[in-house]
A and B are shown apart, each in its own frame.
Chain A
């Protein structure tokens, strides 16, 4: 047995519970949160190293053997996502200290923050479909609290929408689980995969697969992203960073896991659906990114484009494309967190989020400006940065699978992403200072956090070969579900 596997869930859970008792002591809350974050980072590094050397780790909760009990499964894919999520969340936590404000901090901000992490890590590590639903709900309920915390009118309105969409998609999730249980009679993911393999996928199982795709697409913002641009504009920048970096990625993780492990028997059918959804997501997302003139909307549409890109990698399904999807997903968590932090700093520096009222920021904040420039190159996939290897692998996989149109759409969306971010850079950092006196704000510590994340983005790009040894180990399991099933259902 291997209790290390449950630690990424247990540590933020204990931290969150502890923080509930310290409502007024903001400073103590900050220290405990940081400590919890660092502890989690250490644990996830150890976990990734152990999986690298010893293969897939499993933990049978309460000693009940699967499929009867709940099992936690740590394969390389899950471990890498947990590791990246813990790095990103630590960065966002440090950024929250200076940006979130004492009002919110005193109303359990850090508690909700850590509960959200419980849901995220739990979703990555669980090996049971209904347990995945519960962890999704843990994550979503914390996100409802975080998106509405502060209670300004915009937040109240957007939370109502966000809440409604997620209640509907959670209801569909339960319905999908009900149909799946009726059809197959188990809830354990490995066991599900085995039974679907025995029964052969087709007819009713394909319908259930599409229902799951709709559910997770609603959560991830894959084609069904109509709720995302508005909802992600409402909360403060630190919360936006947390959502943009983690929430949609959990949906993507669920899509990848479901369609490489459980419904892997009829790839022509499921991948066809994912492919056109990915194409539509990339096209509509990049059009949205180009169309708008306020920073939050441009950044939100950039989140949508990358969701489409990872889904394209999944739909291609070749080993290269799967490796690329994993690599790009890791890069994207870092990149999107950095993007929202930089966006938040820019809004704070200029005192407005409209691009036409900005200008000349480069004179006052050169480090911020050049960081944003580097980020724009990284997200577009220019070679020295981390966006490049993932994109190359996905495009190569797509061409191998004969998906020429989708590969072209992918490349075109990269171009539009670059255009939208360079537009932000040009209008906000160059040009003349606006006539109105800009607000005096301290951005040193926020910029330091952003610079730290930027260094990681660069290191991930430069050390792509080293990262790839881990990524290909993750891609291997995604490519052959046998490995996963044997690790879980051995004995």
Chain B
């Protein structure tokens, strides 16, 4: 099971990096959000994907899945959510100010 997740994470990282290296700001923001998806799946996978009940004590199961990475992912999701929202608004403001979201043009215009 873990190897499938590893491949999925690898694909997310590849696509994310490819998008980040592109020229328009919007594609870059999408790239960063794919990258964070990848890293959250990685966090889930690295803790092990063994079978067990959801980490709620009411279930009275014999074994539970590890609750710690789930808390870490939850924290990381909110943080990246906030940062992505900021990035989107920044991209919008930059588009308004520069009149373009092509990063090459932004540099040329300054000189």
Contacts and interface: CB of A to CB of B under 8 A. Distances in A.
Interface in B15-51: 20, 25, 28, 32, 35-36, 38-40, 42-43, 45-48
- A133, A157, A167, A177 — which one has the most chain B CB atoms within 10 A of its CB? A167
- A133, A134, A160 — which one has the most chain B CB atoms within 10 A of its CB? A160
Interface stretch (A107-115, A178-186, A263-271): A178-186
Nearest to B9: A175
Given A141-B82, A164-B28, A181 B69 contact: yes
Contact of B97 (A153, A177, A182): A153
A168 B35 contact: yes
Nearest to A151: B93
Nearest to A172: B39
Contacts of B94: 156-157, 160
Contacts of B28: 164
B87 interface: yes
Nearest to A180: B46
A144 B39 contact: no
A41 to B, nearest CB: 30
A171 interface: yes
Contacts of B36: 167, 171
Contacts, number: 88
SS class, residues of chain B in contact with chain A:
helix
Interface string B86-103: 110011011001100000
A160 B75 contact: no
Given A153-B98, A159-B90, A178-B46, A164 B20 contact: yes
Q: How large is the interface on A (under 10, 10 to 19, 20 to 34, 35 or more residues)?
A: 20 to 34
B79 interface: yes
Interface string A166-210: 011011001101110110000100000000000000000000000
Interface in B60-111: 68-69, 72, 75-76, 79-80, 82-83, 86-87, 90-91, 93-94, 97-98, 106, 110
B93 to A, nearest CB: 6
SS class, residues of chain A in contact with chain B:
helix
A137 interface: yes
B43 A174 contact: yes
Contact of B90 (A156, A170, A175): A156
A168 B39 contact: no
A129 to B, nearest CB: 10
Interface string A24-45: 0000000000000000000000
A225 interface: no
A68 to B, nearest CB: 10
B43 A156 contact: no
A83 B82 CA distance: 31
Contacts of B48: 182
- B47, B72, B106 — which one has the most chain A CB atoms within 10 A of its CB? B72
Interface in A270-304: none
A117 B76 CA distance: 21
B17 to A, nearest CB: 9
B55 to A, nearest CB: 15
B79 A179 contact: no
B43 A178 contact: yes
A74 to B, nearest CB: 24
Contacts of B79: 134, 137, 141, 170
Interface in A121-176: 130, 133-134, 137, 141, 144, 148, 151, 153-154, 156-157, 159-160, 163-164, 167-168, 170-171, 174-175
6 pairs of A and B residues whose beta carbons are closest in the complex: A182-B46, A178-B46, A178-B43, A156-B94, A174-B39, A167-B32
Given A153-B97, A175-B39, 12 more contacts: A133-B76, A134-B79, A148-B90, A157-B98, A157-B110, A167-B32, A170-B79, A174-B72, A175-B42, A175-B43, A182-B46, A182-B47
Interface of B: 20, 25, 28, 32, 35-36, 38-40, 42-43, 45-48, 68-69, 72, 75-76, 79-80, 82-83, 86-87, 90-91, 93-94, 97-98, 106, 110
8 contacts: A160-B90, A164-B20, A170-B83, A174-B42, A174-B72, A174-B76, A175-B43, A182-B47
